[in-house]
Amino acid sequence: MLFAAAVLLTVGAIAYTLFVRDKDLPQPENATGWEHLEQRKVRIYEQLRDLQFEYRVGKLSDADYQTTKTNLQTELAAVMQELDKRQGTAPPPPPAPKPANVCPHCGTKFPSAMKFCGACGKEMA
């Protein structure tokens, strides 16, 4: 009885461990090779967000905020560039010129940037 149980235990253990069918084999992992860059990107975004929050809370001086923000953005841009390189995508187009606050047509000044001139109605950009 005891002997039978021992044999059963042994055979069961061996069978379970060694009997691997084809369908038990794992599917190939679709590793891209740049997960760590994606991960870094996410982390830097997270730090940027955190920085903004701390600034809003009043834990940072303006100067500290600006320096750190620039540093983080540079780091992030570098990571994104690297990612684009690996993924074979082109970097983003140069940013569109910012909407101005002086109308190029009639010359009226506005306190903030606008798309259309409030005086002459023409496009400001």
Q: Which residues bind other proteins (CB under 8 A)?
A: 2, 5-6, 9-10, 13, 16-18, 20, 24-27, 29, 31, 35-37, 39-40, 42-43, 45-54, 56-61, 63-64, 67-68, 71-82, 84, 89-95
- Distance, in Å, from the CA atom of 88 to the CA atom of 40, rounded to the nearest integer, reads 19
- Residue 90 contacts residue 84 (beta carbons within 8 Å): yes
Nearer to other proteins, 46 or 123 (CB): 46
Structure token digits, residue 111:
């306190």
Nearer to other proteins, 61 or 101 (CB): 61
CA 11 to chain CA centroid, nearest Å: 51
State in angstroms the smallest separation of the CB of 105 from other proteins: 26
State in angstroms the smallest separation of the CB of 80 from other proteins: 5
Nearer to other proteins, 109 or 112 (CB): 112
State in angstroms the smallest separation of the CB of 119 from other proteins: 28
Local structure of 45: helix, strand or coil: helix
Residue with token string 């190939």: 28
Nearer to other proteins, 54 or 108 (CB): 54
Burial label, 74 (beta-carbon count in 10 A; 0-12, 13-18, 19+)? exposed
Beta strands in 33-72, from DSSP E residues, in sequence order = none
